[in-house]
Each structure stands twice: as C-alpha cells, then as structure tokens.
Structure 1
Amino acid sequence: MLSRLTALICACALTACTTTMIDRGTYLADTQYHAKGADSRVRFLVMHYTEIDEAKSLSVLTGDQVSVHYVVPDAPRIERGEPVVYQLVPEDQRAWHAGLSYWQGATELNASSIGIENVNLGPIDTPSGRGWQPYPRAQIDALIELSRDIVTRYRIPPTRVVGHSDIAPQRKIDPGPLFPWHTLYQAGIGAWPDDATVAAHLAGRAPKAPTDVRALQEKLKRYGYDVATDGVLDEKTRRVFGAFQMHFRPSDYAGDADAESDAIASALIDKYLP
C-alpha cells in the first residue's frame, strides 16, 4: 500500500512539474511560481478613426510605419451570429498607434494601451459643406462588444477610455465629434457626466457664458489632459478645450472657455475623481 501511495505522489509531482514547464528550445522555464508584484501592461484604451476605407486601412496598418491592435470595419461581416473584427497585434505587445501622447501623467501611451482603429473617413464633404462621416450601427455594436471585453479583462477605469484627440490634442482630431461616446458609456464603456450634476454646476449660467480660463485648465489637467494652467486662452489651450468638447459636448467644439464646458468638467471630476 505504501509503495503504491509513494508511486502516486511521485506521478502527481511529475505531472505538476511537466505542466508548469515551457520548452523554449535551448532551456526550460518552470512557471509553477507566480509573483504578486506584477500588473498588466494595459492601462488605457484608445479610440481612433482610419480616414480611409477598409482595404486601405488594413494595408497601411499591416505595413512598417503604424500599427494597431484592432480594426473595426464599418460593415463588419457576421460569422456564427457574431461580428468579426480584425486583430493585427497581440494585446501583450506594443502597437504604434498613439505616438507622442499624454494622459493622466502617463506619456508614450503605445507602451500602456490597446488601440482600436474604426474604419471611418472622418471629415468629409457633404452637400451642405464640410461634415463628418457617421459611424454605422453595426460598427458601433461590434465596437461595444470588443471594448467591453477589453475594459472588463484589464479593469480599465472609465476615465482611461479615451480618443486620440484626448491624448494628443495638438496634432489629432480623431475619432471625431460623431464618435458614439455616450452610447459606449450606456454600454458600460468609458466616462460620461450626469446631466443633473452638470445642471447643478451651471448654477443658472448661460451655457455659452464666458468662464475663467485658468479654472477650466486646472480641471482638465486634473481629469487627464496635457494643458497649461496659466490662464491664457492661446491656440494650444483652445485645441485642448476643443478635444474635451468634442468628446463630451460634440455639438460645439470651438475651444471656447464657456460655462457649460466648466460644468461638464466639474461633473466629471465629482463622479470619477472625487
């Protein structure tokens, strides 16, 4: 009986040892021990648009200049009842999608983010003048499924689901004013201010009434933007204000320092950064 028990213990030990070993060709890595002092590379989710069609997007994004983790087609095909998106880079690897960037104290977000490119032409000419290409419902639905999976697996906080224009406002405007930020928020993805809190912070002011530039700069700096806090409404500050407005008030993203923008910023801080 003892010999059989010993043999069983040895067999179990051998199995455990075998299943924790990874053969890397010239050495074996034993993975049975796990350090607690570690976390995920992924801290942010960054949204983009491609400005070109699907075929050109895939050609460019599989070249040697830029890359991204996922591409969501404007008309995703359906297989087995589910939308198909393209994964071009493994999530544990860095993709070249963010460039020079900043958010909440982090720089070079390529190293700490997952990037999603949405096939969308961005600014387009319309019969009534310059406009923006809408995001089709089927694309939004696919994007929601993809994004919700990512933020859930990596526990990405709402304030770290951002657009390229949020993290690089001096040089980027994607994913544009028609991007469905509020729809994503309703699906549990990203941040959005509560209407009642915005109204409380407006405190009877007209939405377009001028507000203190420095105060708005300081609030956006606290929320995550790379912005000066010198009280000067120069072109750089306007671009930051415009990026914030494009995300949270897409009906007007002129970059003005107005009461509604101040109220939205205050409501976001109350909700997510108290």
Structure 2
Amino acid sequence: MSSPNHSERRGGMTPRLVVLHYTAMASFAEAKARLCDPAHEVSAHWLVDVDGRAEALVDEARRAWHAGAGAWGGCQDVNSASVGIEIQNDGMSPFPARQMAGVERLLGDVLGRWGISPAGVIAHSDMAPLRKRDPGPRFDWRRLALGGLSVWPEDRVAKAQGFSSWAAEFGYRGPEEAVLGAFRLRFRPWGRGPVSAVDAGLMQDLAQRFPAVL
C-alpha cells in the first residue's frame, strides 16, 4: 500500500459503493505521485493504468480520500462507504480495451469481496454532480452493465416532470440541471437541451429497478 492519505472508516461503515474516477493527468506515474503525496490529501484504493494493470494504494478496509463533498442516496460520507478506483485517463481520450478489461477484473474482485451490488458502482459525477465529470462521457458504462458490474436502463419514455423525483429515488442529489448533466454523462452523453421524455423514462426505469438503499 503506497498512499499515506487515509483514515478509519467512520461509524463502523464498510464499503457499499464503488466510485469510479479518471485521473485527469498525463501519466500513471504522475497520478500515483499525486495520490501518494501527503501535501495533496487525496488518494484512492486502486489506480488502473492504460494497460489494465491495477495497483493498490490504500487498504480497502481504510477510508481513502477520493470522493470529497457529495452524496448518493442517503449516504453523505461517501468516502466511508466506498472503494475508490482511479483510472488513468486525461479526461478526453478513449479508455483502451485492455484498460477496460482490467477495470472489469478489479470490479469483479471488489464487488465479490464486499458483497456490493452492481447498482453500487457509480461515477464520481453521480455523487458530486455540481463539481465533477469523471469518469466522463467516453467511459463505457454499458460494457460494465453487460458484464454484471453496473446497471443500465431499459428504453422507455415518461413525463419529463417526473425526472427529478425518479433521480432522487435512484440516488442522485442536487439541482435538476446538475443531475441531468451527470445522468447524461453516464447514460446519454449525446443528450442536449432540457429534460426529455426519454431522459425521464430511462431515469424512471433505473429508479424502479435499482432504488438507492443507502
């Protein structure tokens, strides 16, 4: 374990979520250096390189400092309730197939180790929609869902006015505009404009099948 930036999980919590990030840095070495620098006071449990290699930086039993301010469902202290995975990516580039395969292997291990459901795998942007965009619109969430490592909505439409209530049921917290942006980053990155019947329908499906229970 390489990073000194960790603490005890508060309130006796154990991981119930996995939060995925991109590093937004030029290289694995730079990202690791930052995550292991006590001056920056940030860390993650895992760092995944472009070739799929995963390196442990913080023991999963400890509280890594990766999520920051935000919430998911009823959980306000996401750091204490989650495992954080940083994925080496500059924030603009595609995620290589070998890297996605490495993320899948790691996720399978983490979910099995802690009994976390696929619905517990979320984006940093999901739990902090006002301030974060990672892992961004180029990350392949549907691939994870097809492998049973995340969730994906079934096609349907619904009244746009119901979007916010369904979003809260699924787990999002924040103003509608910010939540819509986070939702689209993950599920409809091509979406534009105000909430549509498609946005609302997809969110309704997610809320009904995968309501947040934290």
Into which bin does the TM-score normalised by the smaller protein fall?
0.7 to 0.9
Choose from 64, 72, 84 the match for 1:103: 72
Q: Does the aligned pair in 2 maintain the 1:241–1:257 contact within 8 Å? A: yes
Contact 1:45 1:161 in 2 (8 A): yes
Corresponding position: 1:249 with 2:204:
no
Cα 1:69/1:255, change in 2 over 3 Å: farther
Q: How does 1:158-173 map to 2 (within 5 A)?
A: 158-173=118-133
Q: Distance in 2 between matches of 1:91 and 1:270?
A: 30
Q: Would you say 1:268 and 2:206 are equivalent positions?
A: yes
Amino acid at match of 1:250: P
Q: 2:108 aligns with which of 148, 152, 159?
A: 148
Matches within 5 A, 1:216-255: 216-227=163-174, 236-252=175-191, 254=192
Alignment TM-score, normalising by the size of structure 2: 0.87
Q: Is the 8 A contact 2:22 2:134 kept in 1?
A: yes
Secondary structure of 1:240's counterpart equals helix
TM-superposed deviation, 1:255: 6.1
Aligned residues: 199
2:31 partner SS: helix
Match of 1:174 among 111, 121, 134: 134
Instruction: Please give the alpha-carbon distance, in whole angstroms, between the structure 1 residues aligned to 2:167 and 2:20.
Output: 19
- SS of 1:162 mapped into structure 2: strand
The answer to whether the Cα contact below 8 Å between 1:238 and 1:255 also exists between their aligned partners in 2 is: no
- Runs ≥4 in structure 1, deviation > 3 angstroms? none
Structure 1 residues 223-252: Cα deviation after superposition (integer angstroms, max 9, x where no partner)? 10113xxxxxxxx42111110111111222
**Alignment gaps of 5+ in structure 2:** 1-11
For residue 270 of structure 1, report the CA deviation from its aligned partner. Answer: 3.0
**1:273 Cα deviation (Å)?**
3.7
Partner SS state of residue 202, structure 1:
coil
Structure with max Cα Rg: 1
- Say which structure, 1 or 2, has more relative contact order (CA 8 Å, 6+ apart): 2
- Do structure 1's residue 121 and structure 2's residue 93 form an aligned pair? no
Shift of 1:40: 6.2
SS in 2 for 1:58: helix
RMSD: 1.9
Unaligned runs of 5+ in 1: 1-38, 77-83, 123-131, 204-210, 228-235
| Pair 1:217–1:148, CA change in 2 (3 A) | same
Match of residue 49 from structure 1: 22
* SS in structure 2 of the partner of residue 140 of structure 1: helix
* SS class of match (1:90): coil
